[in-house]
Amino acid sequence: MIPILPEGAAKPDAQASPADAAHAGAAQAAQAWLKQGSLQLRSLPPLSLYVHFPWCVRKCPYCDFNSHEAKNGIPEAEYLAALRRDLELALPLIWGRPIHSVFIGGGTPSLLSAAGMERLMSDLRSLLPLAPDVEITMEANPGTFEAEKFAAFRQLGVNRLSIGVQSFDSAKLHALGRIHDGEQARAALEIASRHFDNFNLDLMFALPGQSLAELQEDLAQALSWRPPHLSYYHLTLEPNTLFAKFPPDLPDDDLSADMQELIFAQTAAAGLAHYEVSAYARPDCQARHNRNYWEFGDYLGIGPGAHSKLSFAHRIVRQMRYKQPQTWITQCQAGAPLQQEHEVGRDELGFEFMLNALRLEDGFALNLFAERTGLPLSVIDAALQDAQRRGLLEVDHRWIKPSPLGKRFLNDLQQLFLHDA
C-alpha cells in the first residue's frame, strides 16, 4: 500500500528525516519506472462518441468553441456524408467496442433538419454497436426549437437534451449576444419537458452587471422546471473571443463567490446533488457522457475540430481533426481527416487523469487510476503526499477525493500533479 501522511500532518523540516529519505527514494524509483516500464492496460475503458456540428446562427462574444456562423446556409448533405466517412475511417481503431454514450454538440446541432438527424442516426446504428441503454444527448439552443422537429428527434433515438438557456433575463441574454430572449427560453423548456424525460439546463452566472438578486431569480426559474440535470458555469473571458478584446463589467470575486454559495444551497434544497465542479443532478440523472470524460474513459470524436482519446493495451493516443469545416470535409473525402495524432507520454498520464478525476466531488476509487492509465499509483505518490500535507486531498485505503479546501483551490491541487510528472 502506498504510504500516505496522516491528514493535517506537519510539513517536514528542512533537515531530511529517514521517512523523507525513503519518500525521495520511492519518488526516484517511480520516475525510473516511468522511463523504463511498460504501459499495461488490462482492460479498455468505456467508449463514448462525440459528434461535432460546427455551425450556429450567430457567434456569441464569449464563445471559444469551434463554431462558425451559418451565413450562407448549412451544407447538410455534404456534412453528413463527411461524418460517415470520418467514422468509417476510424472504425479499425475501435472495432467491436460498444458505444455507451453519444453527444452531438456544437455549434447548434438543433439546426439539423429532422431528415438530417434521421440520416445521422441511421449511419451511427449501421456502423457502431450502440449499447442497449445508450445515452444520446443533443445540444439545443432556444430560438431553434420547433415542436414537431424535436418530437421527431426523440422518436429517432435522441433521449437527452442539453439546452443552452444561459439565463432567463432578456437583458442579460442580449448582453451575452444570445439569439433568444427569456420568453423563448421558457418556450423551449416547455417543448423539451413535453418530449424528453431527461434533459440538462446550461446556465451561467457572474454575468455582465448581474446582482445576487438577479442570479437568485434566474436560479428560481431554472429550478421551477424541475430539471433532471443542471450545469451552472462561471462566465470566464476566454482568449480569442470578443469579450476578451472588449471585456464587459463583470461581478468581482467576492460577489461571484456569494453567487456560487447560493447555487450550492438552492440546488441542494431542490434535490440536485452537486457531483462535479459545475454539474448538479437528480438521482440516476448524472451525465454519463461527461462522467466518462472525468473518469478518464475513452472517446472518439468525429466532425471538424473534434478530439479523441483512445486506449490500447500498451498505449493511449490523442487525435484532433481538421478544424475548419470545409477543410475537414475535403480531408474526409481524401481519407485523411486527422490533423494531429500523438501517443500520450507515460509522464503525462498521471496529470491528465488527475486533471479530470479531481473535478468529481466524491473523487475516485484507488484502483481506477491503474485501470485507466496502465500505471501503478506509486508514480504520483509524491504529489499525493504533498497534496495531503497541504490539506487539499482526503485519502483512505479505497478512495481519493478533494478536501473542502482542495475544492476551493482546485487549480492549485491539479497543478501539483503536473509538477510530479
pLDDT score of 103: 98
Element (H, E) at 132: strand 130-140
Q: Give the 3-state secondary structure of residue 100.
A: strand
Domain check: are 164 and 278 in the same one? yes
Closest to 331 measured CA to CA, from 314, 360, 306, 348 = 306
CATH code for the domain in which residue 355 is found:
1.10.10
pLDDT above 80 (res 14): no
Q: What is the mean pLDDT of the chain?
A: 89
Closest to 185 measured CA to CA, from 198, 203, 197 = 203
Confidence of residue 145 (pLDDT cuts 50, 70, 90): confident
pLDDT score of 31: 56
**Average pLDDT value for residue range 116-144:** 95
CA distances to 123, 201, 336, 361 from 82, in Å: 11, 30, 11, 39
Tell me whether residue 164 is in a domain.
Answer: yes
Q: How many CB atoms lie within 10 A of CB 335?
A: 10
Written as nine digits, the cell of 290 is 461527461
What range does the domain containing 366 cover?
A: 346-419
Confidence of residue 321 (pLDDT cuts 50, 70, 90): very high
When comparing pLDDT for 39 and 266, which is higher?
Answer: 266
CATH code for the domain in which residue 62 is found:
3.20.20.70
Domain check: are 285 and 354 in the same one? no
Contact 386, 412 (CB under 8 A): no
d(CA 407, CA 401): 9
Who's near 377: CB < 8 A, 6+ residues apart? 2, 366, 369, 370, 384
Domain check: are 162 and 278 in the same one? yes
pLDDT above 90 (res 68): no
pLDDT score of 91: 98
**Average pLDDT value for residue range 187-192:** 91
pLDDT score of 65: 85
Angle at 144 between CA 141 and CA 147, to 5 degrees: 110
**Average pLDDT value for residue range 62-90:** 92
Written as nine digits, the cell of 104 is 452531438
When comparing pLDDT for 312 and 32, which is higher?
Answer: 312
Angle at 112 between CA 109 and CA 115, to 5 degrees: 140
Domain count for the chain: 2
Tell me whether residue 160 is in a domain.
Answer: yes
Enter the pTM of the model: 0.89
pLDDT score of 237: 86
Tell me whether residue 188 is in a domain.
Answer: yes
Instruction: Among 293, 309, 327, give the residue marking a domain's end.
Output: 293
